[in-house]
């Protein structure tokens, strides 16, 4: 049962459960307990599972640790502390681990001072960086509080001696759990916790989370399932305590009319004034290249005020040393401004920030809150955030983010389910631990939240893969990682290298390296290796807003020259964050309301007042939004949830475009557009170009394509099947397959003492995919790659919901013909195509391309 | 079956028919094991594919002799037990199905001699059929000046071309044909099913023969399941390629 904690305990109640030294130390440091401590400490003391969702500055560390420290103090006093781990703290970042160790130093020292003797409570950080010496020290004298990462913990589970030290674990604290839950790292951790529980017996689980929705789901993710029901957990939610001061800012008076350059200039002027008015400003952009460009431009435009010493960038492509330097300078208050993409979202200690600026939409309310929450250090400080918009669609989107943030409406979190690649890793790990009864293992796996519904068939298919059933008997000694005895109903590990292979290859983050892009000897940015592999001589592509021509690649450096014109390489490797579905639906609702107002012929004043009130934006912004929507209304109609507008127009050279105003976010549109394009291609055997954005998608072709008819053929029932076929030959699937093969340990990054380069893995990954497809179209790793593309990369579930809305008549399809695209379609049509879809076999493809090339040569 | 001709050789899928000989090259038996050593746990899968294709080619071309133009097996150094078994099995298959069997040394074939001798076969440096000289092509031999052959047939390069349209890329094995000095040069694709090879539109050539030919002056004949696609010269394709992205 998941329940909301409603009890708040008085100081005197909490004092009773704390060791007198601990109580004394606490009182010497704090006046009283914070709200979250009042709601949490007692239950943690009693061993209840707890999910604490609270803003920064609410004393989270102590909420989680205080009761435990008190218990350890009791044990120390009674000389009952054993050489084993009592508590495991898990965080997604090594930096956070190090912070926590430092933060524990103070209470432990303080309590010892009061006690007047050493208590011998040990804590230690253990990550991939921990030296062999430290490790052996930890084995002799295990830390009572082990501070680690999800990956390292799963390695410890198979460490022959250290795992014995984990048998007495009573507490597990998972920090920043929200940042793990929505990806495979979290899925991986969830199984690790179940395996730990199998070794250690029941322990108390404490999750620390930022604001997410729904917290119940996060709680279930934390505690897992037992006998088909979630284990008990209480939720402590104290987010209402933090006051928000958020505004959306337009750099120019009328963003609809202003040209991009004007807007850009005005944006930097605005950034400048905001920074100068505050002590330390943290700016978030959505991409790493955006981060670089803001730093560069601030320095260039305001050289008197900004230079290397007071402005720095912080993102994941920068070296660890550089990032650490930035963090330290921030803590010491030396920086005026720091610009980041996502890397500073999580709770590493960065000192005092009094303003957070978001440049352009953060694409989800929770991300906006997370980012803005980095400002205002103490609990009762206001978090101050400013969102600067860059164009008219951005304005509408950010205004809705503002509305939802102020009204506490957070996007729903998506937790991946039944990931068979992560499952492979864990079954291998389990087999290394000991022999297992097949049913017992299946039960254990189903107690993890993401696997609570995994089918027996899928589970067996993973066992069968690991047992090497896809190879001949005599070869199996090379490929089989486990043995399975179906008669005895048991499985176990194979091979002497098993533990070593497991320990050096586990994890869920694919190896990715970025290549440096050099133009005239200057590094202008970085591109992913996957993208580099695609580039051929003469290709042009966009990087950091500029267009470059690819000349050649040497190792991990790409040489380019500036170019112009539309890029020849569509950027299907977009690092853009996708718009959250919930937010998209809210924008559509707003569109519907606006449509109604125009139809009812409300006055401009009335509508402006409405926008001002509804979206909490100033009249300037309200004016821009009013004009943007009115243009759309007068020209055609305002699309929304009630009406899905389908716009037909003919472009240059008679090229036909069908624009679907499906504002459901890029992940949903990716799924819908590819499925429609596939239906068309299958029917007409004709190229269909696709372009996808958060606000809709378009299809385009040389001739009539019947986009609407094809769209109507899609149903909630057939979507998944059609999409499976549509993605089959894409690079996206090939790339994801390689990652899944890595996670399933079919491609080993580290093998026989050698590290394999990513480049080689890529080429080989394709061979592997070909082999697997020929072997069995339902091979578990291939199945997982497809699931990952459709459910995690795209959003097939919500795409189905859209089709349901149409099927049930809640959403009408409205068709219009236009000579030039409507205002709402403008940004969408202006962007290049993403992919060309054509239904054909390899041989058809070759014949067609051959004919096309020959025609062109003879042309 | 009617085959496309290049000089005195006919393209029979991945093999060349020269008189009553089938020429195949670059089988790289045992390639899977070397992938294993790199951490790619792919099992043996190409051997049955090779046999199946060879049977089909022989049936359609009705040749009674065969030339293996180098790199029968993959490893440079020591032979693994499996590689030995596979090579042995393959030679036995050839003996059972062809009259004359010619093995030509490739750069991966340091140890092939031992297996060949066990089967009473010789490993040759090169082989003449009519006016054609067949050799692996990893180096330009000194005897070349003395040969009276007009056509040179080499392997080693594993040529293929990458066709791209939108997000889709397909690589297709191909023959290359051009002039090396006064000789007609034919470069064969590899007879294996692990990879298509190296994209001649993208990558630098390996063979010293190709390095000596001005870039782009080679005719491309792509092959896919017995179908031949004449694409014109490399430089013709590179000139128009951009239109297809």
Tokens, residue A29: 């440091």
Closest CA to A360 of A275, A277, A287: A287
Contacting residues of A for B35, CB less than 8 Å apart: 764, 767
Mutate to test the interface with A, among B39, B164, B237, B238 (most CBs of A within 10 A): B39
Closest CA to A89 of A61, A119, A120: A61
Report the alpha-carbon distance of residue B215 to residue A505 in Å, rounded.
Answer: 43
Q: Chain B window 193-212: which residues touch A at a Cβ cutoff of 8 Å?
A: 194-195, 201-202
> What number is the average pLDDT over the span A516-545?
74
Surface-to-core class of residue A410, CB atoms within 10 Å of its CB (0-12 exposed, 13-18 middle, 19+ buried): buried
Report the residue from B44, B240, B241 with minimal CB separation from A475. Answer: B44
Report the alpha-carbon distance of residue A452 to residue A442 in Å, rounded.
Answer: 10
> pLDDT for A729-765, tens place per residue?
777 888 889 899 999 999 887 776 666 555 555 566 7
Closest CA to A691 of A839, A498, A834: A834
DSSP-derived pairing of the beta strands A812-818 and A754-755 = unpaired
Cβ of B170 under 8 Å from any chain A Cβ? yes
> pLDDT for B42-63, tens place per residue?
888 889 999 999 999 999 999 9
> pLDDT for B7-19, tens place per residue?
989 999 999 999 9
Report the alpha-carbon distance of residue B186 to residue B5 in Å, rounded.
Answer: 11
Q: Which residues pair with A514 in a beta bridge?
A: A528
Report the residue from A731, A767, A843 with minimal CB separation from B194. Answer: A767
φ, ψ at A53 (rounded to 5°): -110, 110
Report the alpha-carbon distance of residue A836 to residue A815 in Å, rounded.
Answer: 24
Of residues A194 and A739, which shows the higher confidence score? A194
Tokens, residue A96: 């956070």
> What number is the average pLDDT over the span A764-788?
89
Report the alpha-carbon distance of residue A287 to residue A317 in Å, rounded.
Answer: 11
Mutate to test the interface with A, among B49, B85, B166, B198 (most CBs of A within 10 A): B166
User: What is residue A573's predicted lDDT score, i.e. its pLDDT?
Assistant: 45
> What number is the average pLDDT over the span A818-845?
79
Report the alpha-carbon distance of residue A196 to residue A389 in Å, rounded.
Answer: 47
User: What is residue A833's predicted lDDT score, i.e. its pLDDT?
Assistant: 61
Q: Is the pLDDT confidence value at A386 over 90?
A: yes
Tokens, residue A295: 């730093």
> Nearest residue of B to residue A466 by CA position?
B41
Mutate to test the interface with A, among B168, B203, B223, B235 (most CBs of A within 10 A): B168
> What number is the average pLDDT over the span A17-36?
94
User: Residue A59, Cβ neighbours under 10 Å: how many?
Assistant: 17
User: What is residue A572's predicted lDDT score, i.e. its pLDDT?
Assistant: 43
Angle at A607 between CA A601 and CA A613, to 5 degrees: 150
CB A205 within 8 A of CB A49: yes
Sole residue written with tokens 């557009």: A673
Determine whether the interchain pair B244/A853 forms a contact, defined as Cβ–Cβ distance below 8 Å: yes
CB A144 within 8 A of CB A316: no
CB B83 within 8 A of CB B74: yes
Report the alpha-carbon distance of residue A41 to residue A682 in Å, rounded.
Answer: 61
Displacement of CA A75 from its chain's centroid (Å): 41
Of residues A315 and A388, which shows the higher confidence score? A388
Determine whether the interchain pair A838/B241 forms a contact, defined as Cβ–Cβ distance below 8 Å: no
Of residues A764 and A613, which shows the higher confidence score? A613
Work out the mean pLDDT of chain A and round it to a whole number: 89
Strand, coil or helix: what is A147? strand
User: What is residue A788's predicted lDDT score, i.e. its pLDDT?
Assistant: 96
Report the alpha-carbon distance of residue A809 to residue A403 in Å, rounded.
Answer: 29
Determine whether the interchain pair A836/B166 forms a contact, defined as Cβ–Cβ distance below 8 Å: yes
Report the alpha-carbon distance of residue A626 to residue A354 in Å, rounded.
Answer: 33
DSSP-derived pairing of the beta strands B159-165 and B168-180 = antiparallel
Contacting residues of B for A761, CB less than 8 Å apart: 40
Tokens, residue B164: 């791209």
CB A592 within 8 A of CB A641: yes
Q: What is the ipTM of this complex?
A: 0.92
Q: What percent of chain A has pLDDT over 90?
A: 64
> What number is the average pLDDT over the span A264-279?
96
> What angle do the packed helices A796-807 and A719-726 form, to 10 degrees?
130
User: Residue A545, Cβ neighbours under 10 Å: how many?
Assistant: 10
DSSP for A359-384, written as a single string: ES--SSHHHHHHHHTTS--STTSEEE
Report the residue from B37, B167, B245 with minimal CB separation from A731. Answer: B167
Tokens, residue A12: 């005197």
Q: What are the helix (H) ranges across B3-45?
A: 31-37
Which segments of A220-321 are extended strands (E)? 225-226, 229-230, 233-237, 243-249, 281-284, 311-314
User: What is residue A462's predicted lDDT score, i.e. its pLDDT?
Assistant: 97
Distance, in angstroms, between A766 CA and closest chain B CA?
9
Determine whether the interchain pair B166/A761 forms a contact, defined as Cβ–Cβ distance below 8 Å: no
Contacting residues of A for B222, CB less than 8 Å apart: 846, 850
CB A54 within 8 A of CB A236: yes
> What number is the average pLDDT over the span A134-152?
96
Verify cis geometry, omega within 30 degrees of 0, for the bond prior to A214: yes
């Amino acid at each position: 049962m998941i329940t909301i904690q409603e009890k708040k305990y008085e100081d005197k109640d909490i004092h009773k459960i704390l060791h007198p030294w601990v109580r004394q130390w606490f009182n010497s440091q704090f006046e009283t307990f914070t709200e979250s401590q009042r709601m949490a400490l007692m239950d943690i003391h009693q061993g209840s599972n707890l999910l604490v969702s609270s803003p920064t500055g609410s004393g989270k560390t102590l909420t989680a640790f205080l009761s435990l420290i008190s218990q350890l103090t009791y044990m120390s006093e009674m000389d009952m502390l054993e050489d084993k781990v009592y508590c495991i703290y898990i965080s997604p970042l090594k930096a956070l681990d190090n912070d926590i160790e430092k933060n524990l130093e103070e209470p432990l020292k303080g309590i010892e001072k009061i006690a007047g003797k050493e208590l011998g409570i040990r804590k230690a950080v253990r990550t991939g960086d921990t030296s062999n010496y430290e490790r052996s020290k930890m084995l002799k004298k295990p830390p009572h509080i082990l501070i680690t990462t999800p990956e390292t913990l799963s390695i410890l589970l198979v460490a022959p001696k250290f795992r014995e030290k984990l048998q007495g674990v009573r507490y597990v604290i998972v920090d920043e759990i929200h940042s793990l839950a929505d990806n495979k790292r979290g899925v991986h951790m969830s199984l690790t916790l179940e395996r730990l529980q199998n070794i250690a017996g029941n322990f108390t689980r404490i999750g620390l989370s930022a604001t997410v929705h729904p917290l119940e789901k996060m709680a279930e993710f934390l505690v897992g399932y037992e006998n088909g029901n979630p284990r008990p957990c209480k939720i402590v939610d104290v987010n209402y305590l933090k006051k928000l001061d958020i505004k959306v800012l337009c750099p120019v008076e009328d963003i609809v009319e202003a040209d991009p350059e004007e807007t850009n200039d005005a944006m930097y002027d605005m950034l400048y004034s905001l920074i100068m008015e505050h002590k330390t400003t943290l700016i978030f952009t959505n991409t790493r290249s955006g981060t670089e460009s803001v730093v560069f431009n601030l320095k260039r435009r305001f050289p008197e005020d900004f230079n290397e010493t007071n402005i720095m960038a912080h993102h994941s492509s920068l070296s660890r040393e550089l990032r650490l330097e930035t963090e330290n300078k921030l803590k010491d208050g030396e920086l005026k401004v720091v610009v980041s993409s996502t890397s500073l979202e999580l709770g590493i200690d960065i000192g005092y920030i009094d303003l957070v600026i978001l440049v352009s939409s953060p694409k989800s309310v929770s991300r906006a809150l997370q980012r803005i929450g980095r400002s205002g250090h103490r609990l009762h400080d206001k978090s101050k955030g400013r969102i600067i918009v860059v164009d008219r669609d951005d304005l509408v989107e950010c205004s809705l983010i503002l509305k939802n943030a102020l009204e506490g409406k957070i996007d729903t979190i998506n937790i991946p389910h039944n990931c068979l690649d992560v499952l492979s890793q864990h079954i291998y790990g389990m087999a290394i631990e000991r022999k297992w009864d097949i049913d017992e293992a299946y039960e254990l796996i189903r107690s993890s939240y993401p696997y609570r519904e995994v089918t027996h068939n899928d589970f067996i298919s993973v066992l069968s893969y690991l047992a090497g059933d896809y190879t001949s008997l005599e070869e199996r000694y090379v490929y089989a990682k486990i043995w399975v005895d179906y008669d005895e109903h048991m499985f176990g590990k194979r091979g002497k290298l098993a533990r070593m292979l497991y320990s050096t290859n586990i994890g869920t983050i694919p190896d990715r390296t970025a290549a440096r892009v050099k133009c005239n000897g200057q590094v202008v940015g970085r591109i992913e290796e996957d993208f580099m592999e695609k580039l051929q001589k003469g290709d042009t592509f966009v990087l950091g807003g500029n267009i470059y021509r690819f000349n050649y690649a040497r190792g991990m450096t790409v040489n380019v020259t500036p170019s112009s014109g539309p890029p020849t390489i569509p950027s299907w490797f977009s690092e853009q964050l996708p718009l959250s579905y919930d937010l998209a639906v809210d924008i559509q609702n707003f569109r519907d309301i606006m449509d109604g107002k125009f139809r009812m012929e409300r006055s401009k004043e009335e509508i402006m007042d409405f926008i001002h009130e509804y979206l909490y934006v100033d009249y300037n912004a309200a004016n821009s939004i009013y004009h943007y929507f009115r243009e759309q209304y007068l020209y055609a109609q305002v699309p929304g949830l009630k009406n899905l507008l389908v716009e037909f127009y003919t472009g240059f050279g008679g090229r036909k475009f069908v624009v679907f105003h499906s504002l459901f976010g890029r992940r949903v549109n990716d799924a819908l557009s590819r499925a429609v394009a596939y239906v068309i291609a299958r029917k007409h055997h004709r190229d269909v170009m696709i372009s996808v954005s958060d606000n809709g998608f378009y299809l385009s072709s040389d001739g009539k394509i019947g986009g609407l008819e094809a769209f109507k053929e899609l149903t909630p029932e057939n979507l998944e099947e059609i999409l499976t076929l549509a993605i089959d030959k894409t690079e996206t699937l090939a790339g994801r397959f390689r990652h899944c093969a890595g996670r399933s340990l079919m491609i080993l990054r580290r093998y026989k003492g050698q590290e394999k380069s990513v480049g080689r893995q890529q080429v080989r990954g394709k061979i592997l995919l070909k082999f697997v497809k020929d072997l069995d179209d339902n091979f578990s790793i291939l199945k997982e790659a497809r699931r990952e593309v459709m459910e995690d990369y795209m959003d097939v579930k919500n795409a189905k919901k859209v089709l349901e809305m149409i099927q049930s008549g809640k959403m009408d399809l409205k068709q219009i013909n236009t000579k030039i695209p409507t205002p709402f379609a403008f940004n969408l049509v202006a962007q290049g195509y993403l992919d060309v879809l054509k239904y054909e076999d390899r041989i058809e493809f070759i014949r067609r391309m051959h004919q096309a090339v020959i025609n062109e040569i003879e042309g | 079956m009617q085959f496309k001709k290049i000089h005195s050789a006919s393209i029979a899928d991945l093999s060349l028919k020269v008189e009553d000989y089938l020429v195949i090259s670059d089988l790289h038996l045992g390639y899977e094991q070397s992938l294993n050593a790199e951490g790619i746990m792919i099992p043996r899968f190409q051997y049955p594919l090779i046999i199946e294709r060879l049977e089909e080619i022989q049936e359609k071309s009705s040749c009674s002799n065969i030339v293996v133009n180098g790199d029968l097996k993959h490893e440079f150094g020591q032979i693994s037990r499996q590689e030995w078994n596979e090579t042995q099995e393959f030679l036995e298959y050839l003996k059972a199905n062809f009259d004359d069997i010619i093995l030509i040394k490739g750069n991966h074939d340091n140890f092939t001699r031992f297996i060949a001798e066990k089967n009473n076969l010789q490993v040759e440096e090169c082989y003449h059929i009519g006016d054609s000289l067949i050799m692996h092509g990893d180096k330009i031999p000194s005897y070349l000046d003395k040969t009276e052959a007009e056509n040179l047939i080499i392997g080693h390069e594993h040529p293929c071309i990458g066709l791209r349209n939108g997000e889709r890329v397909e690589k297709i094995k191909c023959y290359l044909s051009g002039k090396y000095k006064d000789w007609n040069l034919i470069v064969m694709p590899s007879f294996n099913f692990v990879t298509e090879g190296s994209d001649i539109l993208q990558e630098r050539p390996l063979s010293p023969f190709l390095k000596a030919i001005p870039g782009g002056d080679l005719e491309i004949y792509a092959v896919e399941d017995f179908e031949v696609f004449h694409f014109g010269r490399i430089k013709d394709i590179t000139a128009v390629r951009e239109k297809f992205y």
